Amino acid sequence: MTNQKQGSLVCVGTGMRMAGQITPIAQSYIESFDVVVAAIPNIFTRKWIMDVSKEYICLNSYYEDMKIDGKDRRDTYRRMADTILMEMRSGKRVCAAFYGHPGIFACISHMAIADAVAEGYSAHMEPGISALDCLVADLGIDPGSRGMQSMEATQFLIYHRLIDPTALLILWQPGIAGELALKKLETNEEYLQVLVNKLARTYTLEHEVILYEAATDPLEKTRIDKIRLGDLPHMQLKQITTLVIPPAKALERDQSIIDQLNAIAAQRGQVQQAA
């Protein structure tokens, strides 16, 4: 029987708005584990973690790495994951905290957990409240009513993706769309125009879209700006801005499938009567 290595890792989320959005189990890990390693942009959340944790290591300064020639976001994320793993390998119970959900647009947590498990350590992730959860609540959207597609904006740009105009489309991080060098956390009008041009293959430029930003503290307002798709390049976007594109077409019934289902139902009804 293989002995479990000393040291462990759990990745938790603090929610988008910490007050009331952090789960009890995430809070218990933050308060009880030996060290909390975190990349949290909100200063109020960082202050709270510093106050309640036994030891706190902030990863935010690591983003300065991107100013170094030859380094990009992937190098920064790898260094963050390595810092988490270094603490775990020293025998500590490590809680890695991320805003929102720790597994959504958070490659650091996935890298750290995969490496920890491969090395024989106990490591897992706890779910958190993500920007998508806030979006659904703030916009009053039910993804189950028409279906939903979701993808990162640059990924949508540079790959062939099939868009269903009868469903909701969510493009994450349009504020850094087209930034292939992974050196900046912003985009420009030219890149956004390329994004609009590709979307125009499916939607008209008059189609109403929504720029959404979840509020991250009690003093901040949720951003819900409804604009024409064609106006997107001229709008101010942040890294946290999400582009929400409502359905542009009605659902079309597939009558041949409906007929097959009705035939099966009728046949089963006859069998049940015969039995």
Catalytic: which of 46, 73, 89, 93?
Answer: 73
Q: What is the mean pLDDT of residues 178-199?
A: 80
DSSP 8-state code for residue 187: -
pLDDT tens-digit series, residues 77-124: 999 999 999 999 999 999 999 989 999 988 999 999 999 999 999 999
Catalytic: which of 29, 77, 121, 191?
Answer: 77
Residues in contact with 4: Cβ distance below 8 Å, sequence separation at least 6, in sequence order: 120, 121, 122
In this prediction, residue 181 carries a pLDDT of 59
Residue 99 annotated as catalytic = yes
- pLDDT class for 3, splitting at 50, 70, 90? low
Q: What is the mean pLDDT of residues 162-173?
A: 96
In this prediction, residue 272 carries a pLDDT of 42
In this prediction, residue 275 carries a pLDDT of 35
Burial 201-220 (b: 16+ CB within 10 A, else e): ebbeeebebbbbbbebeeee
Q: Mean pLDDT highest for which of 1-5, 46-50, 98-102, 123-127?
A: 123-127
Q: What is the mean pLDDT of residues 65-88?
A: 86
In this prediction, residue 186 carries a pLDDT of 60
Contact 115, 121 (CB under 8 A): no
Q: What is the mean pLDDT of residues 261-275?
A: 68
In this prediction, residue 2 carries a pLDDT of 53
Which strands sit side by side in the sheet containing 208-213, from one edge to the other? 148-152, 168-172, 242-245, 208-213, 223-228
- Report the share of the chain in percent with pLDDT over 70: 91
- pLDDT class for 184, splitting at 50, 70, 90? low
- Is residue 68's pLDDT more than 80? no
CA gap 124, 10 in Å, rounded: 5
Catalytic: which of 99, 121, 191, 212?
Answer: 99
Q: Give how far Cα 72 sits from Cα of 88, 100, 271, Å.
A: 25, 23, 64
**Residue that wins the pLDDT comparison between 164 and 185:** 164
CA gap 117, 216 in Å, rounded: 32
Nearest to 97 by CA among 152, 134, 151, 42: 42
Q: What is the mean pLDDT of residues 71-76?
A: 82
CA gap 207, 226 in Å, rounded: 10
In this prediction, residue 116 carries a pLDDT of 97
In this prediction, residue 173 carries a pLDDT of 92
Q: Which domains does the chain have, with CATH numbers?
A: 8-129 (3.40.1010.10), 132-245 (3.30.950.10)
Nearest to 9 by CA among 61, 79, 83: 83
In this prediction, residue 70 carries a pLDDT of 64
Phi-psi region of 129 (alpha: psi -120 to 50; beta: other; left: phi over 0): beta
Widest pairwise Cα distance in the chain:
77
pLDDT tens-digit series, residues 204-263: 999 999 999 998 877 789 999 999 999 999 999 998 899 999 999 999 999 999 889 888
Burial 44-60 (b: 16+ CB within 10 A, else e): ebbebbeeebeebeebe
Q: Chain-centre distance of CA 215, in angstroms?
A: 15
Q: What is the mean pLDDT of residues 253-275?
A: 76
Q: What is the mean pLDDT of residues 38-55?
A: 91
Q: Give how far Cα 250 sits from Cα of 164, 235, 240, 253, Å.
A: 11, 28, 30, 10
In this prediction, residue 271 carries a pLDDT of 43
Rounded to a whole number, what is the distance in angstroms from the first to the last CA of the chain?
A: 54
The residue to which tokens 């001229």 are assigned: 234
- Is residue 17's pLDDT more than 90? no
Nearest to 193 by CA among 161, 237, 152, 234: 234
Residue 73 annotated as catalytic = yes
- Is residue 12's pLDDT more than 70? yes
